[in-house]
Amino acid sequence: MNLDGVLIGELLNKIGFNFAMEYFEFDNGEYINDYEETLSSEDNPDIFRVKNNWEYYHKITKIIDKRFEKWNKK
Domains of the chain, residue spans: 9-72
End-to-end CA distance of the chain: 33
Q: Is the pTM of this model over 0.85?
A: no
Listed in sequence order, the DSSP H helices in 1-74 are 14-23, 31-39, 54-72
Check residue 56 and report its DSSP letter: H
What's the rounded Cα separation, in Å, for the pair 37 and 2?
28
What Cα–Cα distance (Å) separates residue 33 from each residue in 6, 12, 15, 23?
19, 23, 22, 10
Amino acid 19 reads: F
The pLDDT assigned to 18 comes to 95
Q: Could you say which residues of the chain have pLDDT below 50?
A: none
